[in-house]
Amino acid sequence: MSAARTAILDRVRAAQRTALIPGASDAGRVLSDPARSAAEPGAGRVLLDPAKLLAKFLAELTALGVDSYVEFSAADVRERLRAIVGGKSVLAWGAGELPYDAGSVTADAAIGASARDVQAAAEIGVTGCDAAIAETGSLVVLSGPGKPRTASLLPPIHACIVRRDDLQPSMGEFFARRADAIAAAACCTFITGPSRTADIELTLTLGVHGPGKVIVIVGP
Amino acid sequence: MNAAGGFADRVENALADSHLRAALDRATSQLGSRRLLALATLDDSDAVRDAARAARLGALANLADNLERFEAKLIANGAQVHWAGTPAEANAIITTIAKRTATRRAVKSKSMVSEETHLNHALEREGVDVVETDLGEYIVQLRNDRPSHIVAPIIHLTKQDVARVMEQRLAVPYTEDTQQLAAIARQHLRREFLRADMGISGANFGVVETGTICLVTNEGNGRMVTTMPRVHVALMGIEKLVGSMAELDRCIKVLARSSTGQKITVYTTLVRGPRGPGDPDGPEELHVVLLDNGRSRILAGETAEILACIRCGACLNACPVYRTIGGHAYGDTYPGPVGAILTPGLRGLRGWNELPHASSLCGACREVCPVRIDIPRMLLALRRDGADDSKPRSLGPAMKVFAFVASRPRVYRGMAALARWSLVRLSRNGWIRRLPGLGAGWTKFRDFKAPAGRSFQQLWRERERQKGRAA
């Protein structure tokens, strides 16, 4: 181990003895109180009602400027996707990773193994997701085989297919319920609406690096 | 250190720039109201703020052990961990990684810590092309400028400024349309993302229990930097830890709300390690560089609490001083109330002891801070420390003279009348621009209110006289 490491840790240990951290012991107590740490402060009670999860999720998507479609069969999801994709070139997750059979819609799609410039030229990205967060309208994507991160990042449009069962009330709930899956993935990404910036005069501008348009299809 | 002249000169320049003041006023008030609206979307925002504060302070109270556990988890996840005591050490670590991986081009997402170490210059000296990819930071780089806000780096520029620099540096037609300006940046930076060998990011948080690096961005450049290049280097201060994913959730909840008024930023990226087996993309190597650079010294003292800062920028937007002078006047990486404490802490009070005075102590910073850092308390502590060795020697004799005068009513009245008479003559429209002698120190930075025409004693006598007449 490096000399810098030892020196830094020694300095930090010495500093901790004199550090003036207000309420630090208090902070420890609060967090170790199981009742307090289990409850997620600020999470809306309404989200504990599964019937309302979907409504909340859709409302958040609308507020973010995301188009959403709710379909009632796998075939309807596929036809909706076909209409959205139209004649555009596709970069998609592997067929086995998409929640429903997309059939011919993604048959000719670029995938994670395709050359970088082919992926970068795609006009629409088609992915599934590992969870969707009702409270914020977020799509959660865990990295893994058959799931190129580029599909939700490089194309100007991202179409994401969500299974209704994958809806989670909040980020905190997702962290708690899916801890093992999160720990097994190299990267976990929360996508909440289209890429945006407000750097120039605080004027909202979409699609600066990631997709400027996000479309969500919720399946059965 | 990069800004020319002393603090007073920088303030003078800022105050003379009406363009800057209009931009600051518009931006900071908008960000302030967005923050309020966003916090209102939480059932109990006070409880979430308390939880976020407890998470950050708890991690600091036991920082050494937490750092060791964080490191062990990262290594178990396949990452490589490096420790840097100084900016030079951090830059040396990263340039060495660049050389070993044959890196010629690097893309960077926003990192305040890399501003602290001047990483770009260090890499460029080694022949590595470094491109900033946050739109604001990209403009800063094109202009050879410095960021003036920790969240909105070009808060000091208008779209005309941006249009001009893009026209000159990128050889594109002049346009003031922000959508088009962003599209130009997208096109130029997309090429950089696709060909870069190394991605460099900061870290908003490090999670001890899982060895996770959390990055939040809105543009997607954070995702690009951690996805496209072969090598990902995350440079972070040693203070950025939280214990658990549950604690991370609390901190994310207040960070986006306090900085940009969103519930959550568009992209929240949790990086746990390099590309997993079978993953089609992601970096082959993940390096985490932990930088001290004065943080352990801050931790030892009265300003340790500032290390809980989550860099949301809310205190800048709320501060009447920042809102008037902007970020450049503070002279270093971190502006505003947080900078007034952090800069003297990181770089030493000598040379920076004016910053704690750049505050009216109104408490707006403490009010808006998502983790409730008591900034005014620490500003006072730093003012005291800065004053200790500069007590004027003339103070003792001066007090003796005052005692002599004040204990002799006739002399006192005579002196007061003389002072009043001369001050009124120095004033114009009720204000004195410049005082002579010892008083010059006061009027160097502020005007002095001219005394009222008559003294309290005179007014009192008149009042008594009028009463006598009325009776």
pLDDT band at A23 (very low <50, low <70, confident <90, very high): low
Does residue B415 contact residue B406 with C-beta atoms inside 8 Å? no
| CA-based nearest distance A86→chain B, Å | 24
In angstroms, rounded to a whole number, what is the distance separating the alpha carbons of residues B332 and B347? 10
Nearest CA in chain B to A114: B280
Name the pTM for this structure.
0.89
Mean pLDDT of chain B: 93
> For residue A182, which residues of chain B lie inside 8 Å, CB to CB?
210, 245, 270, 272
Pairing of strands B212-217, B80-84: unpaired
Alpha carbon B226 to chain centroid distance? 25
CA-based Rg of chain B, rounded to a whole angstrom?
Answer: 27
Q: What is the pLDDT of residue B443?
A: 84
Least confident of A49-53, B126-130, B288-292: A49-53
Q: What is the pLDDT of residue B55?
A: 95
pLDDT reading at A100 higher than 90: yes
Reported as a single tens digit per residue, the pLDDT across A186-217 is 999 999 999 999 999 889 999 999 999 999 99
pLDDT reading at B377 higher than 90: yes
Nearest to B223 among A37, A170, A210 (CB): A210
Nearest to A8 among B57, B83, B193 (CB): B83
Q: What is the pLDDT of residue B256?
A: 95
In angstroms, rounded to a whole number, what is the distance separating the alpha carbons of residues A112 and A108? 13
pLDDT band at B392 (very low <50, low <70, confident <90, very high): low
> For residue A197, which residues of chain B lie inside 8 Å, CB to CB?
135-136, 182, 218-219
Compute φ and ψ for B18, nearest 5 degrees: -70, -30
Question: What's the whole-number mean pLDDT along residues B287-295?
Answer: 97
In angstroms, rounded to a whole number, what is the distance separating the alpha carbons of residues A129 and A97? 9
* B264·A171 Cβ contact <8 A: yes
> For residue B263, which residues of chain A lie inside 8 Å, CB to CB?
135-136, 192
Which one of B213, B251, B272 would you mutate to disrupt binding with A, by most A Cβ within 10 Å of its Cβ? Answer: B272
Question: What's the whole-number mean pLDDT along residues A112-126?
Answer: 96
In angstroms, rounded to a whole number, what is the distance separating the alpha carbons of residues B411 and B50? 58
* A187·B135 Cβ contact <8 A: no
Does residue B213 contact residue B288 with C-beta atoms inside 8 Å? yes
Reported as a single tens digit per residue, the pLDDT across B410-442 is 999 899 889 888 888 888 888 988 888 878 888
Q: How many CB atoms lie within 10 A of CB B147?
A: 25
> For residue B277, which residues of chain A lie inside 8 Å, CB to CB?
145
Which whole-number Å values give the CA distances from B105 to A208, B152, B221, B343, in the listed order? 21, 25, 16, 31
- Tell me the percentage of chain B whose pLDDT exceeds 70: 98
Dihedral-angle region of residue A103 (phi above 0 means left; psi in -120 to 50 means alpha; beta otherwise) = left
